[in-house]
Structure 1
Amino acid sequence: MKFVVAIILFFSLATHAQTSEENRFADVEKEFVALAKKYGVQTADLGVYATVGEGKDMKVLLNVNEKRTMIPASISKVATASAVLAHFPPGHKFKTQLLGTVDPKSSVLKGNLYLKGGGDPSFVSENMWFLVNAFTRTGIKKIEGDIIVDDSLFDKVRYDVSRQKERVDRAYDAPSGAMSFNWNSVNIFVRSNGKGNGAEVFIDPENEYIRLVNKAKTVAGSDNKLLADRQEDKKFDGDVIHVGGSIGQGLKEVVIFKNITQPDLWSGYNLKSFLAQRGIQLTGSIKNGVTPEKADVLAESESKAIEQVVADMNKFSNNYVAEMLTKNLGAVKKTKGASLADGVQVINEHMQSLGVPADQYRLDSPSGLTRENKMSSFAMWKVLQHLRDDFQVQPEFLTSLPIAGVDGTLKKRMKNSKAERWVRAKTGFLTNVVSLAGYAGIEDGHVITFSFIYNGSTDEAKVRAFFDNLLIYLVK
């Protein structure tokens, strides 16, 4: 009799738990409709798919136009990250090398020094300094030849053809190259220099590739009315930075970021500058070319681990990193001249391997800086669910995502709400496009996988508020 009572009690508790779970999310659709109305978001302009739980216990919370293909914007980087993590194991690093033929008895390198790019998106000043320090241990004090920059691992197409046609000098539109340096952007620091006088302008890092034209003024007050633009100089290998306008005397310093036009030569001139700082003289010039097969490796710098590079891409939605990683995917199959198209093909093959419905996505651009990409919210959810279920990549991908109220592109969103630190997601934005895709945790251990895409004319700030408040409700 006790056994029968125990069985009845067990099934009663199980049924109650299941009913409680169902009741818990019973009002999600009502809240969704209410929030959409509050923020003036038309449901016809949305693609939404969200689930909670996993396996046979998974429950669909929202499915609105989930199979309609829409412009996803930068959440396209989720697919790029998934393919990258599938092809490069955790800890994988890209190498940048200095090569040449050295006489161990001489302090003079009689010939060229080769700077060979390995496609490292994270090669910055610290890496260049490390590389040059390693080179100084060869004992070379003078190079009687040229610096030859070898970026032949990738093709010479510097921009994704699906980006906007007009080039801009903003850092987000930086070109790509197998030998790249400092995100292929330059830092311009401007300081006031007394009322009515000119302003001090510093180029960082300082090198011969950049020519500065400084017409900035210092004025009373604390306004920033500085103007800066970058122009390619056809007369010499480099770019010209024009700085004008005014900086208020009350401002300590203003920083402006501009991209450069020739990644290979930019890297070579910076190498020359770093060598000079260590007392190493170059008699020749900066050129591009290919490293001879018999050249010896004289110094080598390794990149960050691949998972940290993916975080650089996702945390700040960096288009340059997305394209560099995609060309590296192409280089897996092609040892010279890998193109963006080669890498995009690898991403699409990866999408097919995940079973993403072929009629629910089109990926031309790995960064999403295009209106040509198309994806349904269900297709994006499918990629997210794979990344959640595959333990080999899940920790690395999760760490790469912006955290609500904490960092990246979500630093100022959902702050001081129930969703702060409980949402990790990739953002997306283009004109009339707002998207958000990732995961929302609940205190009881459940995790919601969600994909939100909006294509319409409602003010983008209202759409973001709608998405954020929907997530706050789901987390609560």
Structure 2
Amino acid sequence: MKKIILISLLFSRFTFAALATPEEISKEFSSLAKKYAIKTEDLGIYATTGDGESQQVLLDVNGKVVMIPASISKVATASAVLSAFPPGTKFKTQLWTSGKIQDGILKGDLYLKGGGDPSFVSENMWFLVNAFLRTDIKKIEGDIVIDDSLFDKVRYDMSRQKERVDRAYDAPVGAMSFNWNSVNIFVRPGNGDGSAKVFIDPENDYIRLVNKAKSAPGSANDLLADRKDDPKFPGDVISVGGRIGRANKEIVVFKNITQPDLWAGYNLKAFLAQRGIPVTGKVRNAEVPASADMVAESESKAIEQIVADMNKFSNNYVAEMLTKNLGTLKKSKAVTLADGVAVINEHMQSLGIPSDQYKLTSPSGLTRDNRLSSFAMWKVLQHLRNDFRVQPEFLTSLPIAGIDGTLKKRMKNGPAERWVRAKTGFLTNVVSLAGYAGLQDGRVITFSFVYNGSTDEAKVRAFFDNLLIYLVK
């Protein structure tokens, strides 16, 4: 009997070991801050464990000081989206026809109507085209017409940083978007003549490729891929130069496009051609007429999976697309990003967050104008943790330390691997991290870390990671 009691006590001590006291945590915080040359006045930190009356503040360093949050802003966006659109919600993309069908020929136009789906990719386009194939229309003697009237025509909202880049993370938005509004550029060494092979995927007439890339000995890689402007060309010109070493099998580069509507339309035309359906007309913009008939429809991934697309890799394009979808709660046409941001701010207010603790103008955080205290972010995280209707979906959307997303290479092979799920953030002189750290006894720490200062961001990340490792241990 004594042995059983002893074993029980040992087991209890192991599984419910006391978390470090706030005093001990504060001491470790100071030690780490000194080690990584982090000034306390540049930090905003708020971390707790427990709920309700049992809640304990573990660390509060300038917790209510409003700072630039960077991409942890997406936590607020995700919270508003999951509140407005229940799990399982899907967006729809449709094909409509106008005109007569005679002997398998559509003597009219084919309309591609966008429903604001951020996840509409090649597989969805194939689904639409294959469904259209079953109408027995063999030829289209008319135009491909894109209806993206659900959203406004502003592709790059003013809330983003002013400087535009052609990287995929800065892709434009539109109610009819395709493949993240980015193109895949695959480069392989040539056959020994000094040239390199370049492939555009998906291949279509919207992209004009200029290949100046060369093959070189060894594993060299100084490839340069740029999007060029040509006012005489309706789409985008992609120029690839530099060298690829013959030891490399393949290198991929991602570039965004500039006109989501035409990009989607030219891809639809190319996909139809691959299924043997020629289109004699051009690609243009217009709304679906009331007399048109819907002939095919594709549904998006479930909303929770799209939120994961946003959070795992901090995708700014998805954040803005979801926010404009929030704006459809206010109006049904020409929705602006501001319409959606208003819904996010209303959601923040509904959580009881003091109005002087936040100012959100960008849903992605790709701006220096957003303002948020660590306490305000903690309030959002606590709401998401306590609301069972959205908690599982949100938790699944976060990067996992040492495993995937933007935390794939952080806290790896240590005590915090798989025990931290959090959203990262980064701008020049801004580093942030917000989410949850699990303990082996089942308790969960809710934390929000924000840094605004000039210390090297690698040191700040190491400081955040080691603070979490200490708390998890």
| TM-score normalised over the length of structure 1 | 0.95
What is the DSSP-based 3-state SS (H/G/I as helix, E as strand, rest coil) of the residue aligned with 1:473? helix
Q: In the TM superposition, what are the counterparts of 1:5-404 in structure 2 within 5 Å?
A: 21=18, 24=21, 26-101=23-98, 106-404=103-401
Q: 1:429 aligns with which of 415, 426, 429?
A: 426
**Structure 1: distance between partners of 2:110 and 2:437:** 51
Contact 2:98 2:108 in 1 (8 A): yes
CA, structure 1 residues 49+111, in 2 after alignment: closer, same or farther (shift >3 Å)? same
The one-letter code sitting in structure 1 at the alignment partner of 2:217 is A
Structure-2 separation of matches of 1:23 and 1:166: 45
Q: Deviations over 1:174-197 (max 9, x none)?
A: 100000000000000111013452
Q: Give the aligned residue type for 1:209.
A: Y
Using the TM superposition, give the Cα deviation of residue 396 of structure 1 relative to its aligned residue in structure 2, in angstroms: 0.6
Cα distance in 1 between the residues matched to 2:119 and 2:346: 26
Query: What one-letter code is carried by the residue in structure 2 that aligns with 1:53?
Result: G
Corresponding residue SS for 1:280: coil
Q: Is the deviation greater in 158-167 or in 115-124? A: 158-167
CA distance in 2, matches of 1:97, 1:234: 31
What is the CA-CA distance between 1:234 and the residue it aligns to?
1.6
Question: Partner of 1:452: helix, strand, or coil?
Answer: strand
CA distance in 1: counterparts of 2:100 and 2:266, whole angstroms? 25
Identical counterparts, % of pairs: 76
Residue 5 of structure 2 corresponds to none
Deviation at 1:24?
4.9
Moved over 2 A (4+): 19-26, 101-106
| Helix, strand or coil at the partner of 1:212 | strand
Pairing 1:459–2:456 present: yes
Please state whether the residue corresponding to 1:322 is helix, strand or coil.
helix
**What amino acid sits opposite 1:457 in the alignment?**
S
Q: CA deviation at 1:358?
A: 0.3
Q: TM-score, normalised on structure 2?
A: 0.95
Task: Assess if the C-alpha contact under 8 Å between 2:101 and 2:107 holds in 1.
Answer: no
1:248-297 CA-partner distances (Å, limit 9, x unpaired): 11111111111000000000000000000000010100001100123111
The amino acid of 1:407's aligned partner reads D
Count of aligned pairs: 460
Q: Cα gap change, 1:205/1:37 in structure 2, threshold over 3 Å: closer, same or farther?
A: same
- Deviation of 1:419 (Å): 0.6
Separation (CA, whole Å) in 2 of partners of 1:203 and 1:197:
20
Alpha-carbon deviation of 1:22? Answer: 7.2
Deviation string 1:202-234 (CA, Å, 9 cap, x unpaired) is 000000000011111111111101111012332
Whole-Å separation in 2 of the counterparts to 1:191 and 1:163 = 34
Letter in 1 for 2:430: V
Q: Is the 8 A contact 2:324 2:337 kept in 1?
A: yes
> Where in structure 1 are there 5+ consecutive unaligned residues?
1-15
Kindly indicate whether the alpha-carbon contact (under 8 Å) linking 2:398 and 2:422 is maintained by their aligned counterparts in 1.
yes
Larger deviation, residues 158-167 vs 372-381: 158-167
Q: Classify 1:64/1:25 alpha carbon distance in 2 versus 1 (closer, same or farther; 3 Å).
A: closer
Deviation at 1:26, TM superposition (A): 4.3
The amino acid across from 1:117 in the alignment is: G
RMSD in angstroms over aligned alpha carbons?
1.5
User: Within 1, Cα distance between the matches of 2:20 and 2:361?
Assistant: 42
Structure 2: how far apart are the matches of 1:242 and 1:208?
Answer: 15
Kept in 1: contact 2:43–2:449 (CA 8 A): yes
- Aligned residue for 1:386, secondary structure, equals helix
TM-superposed deviation, 1:23? 5.9
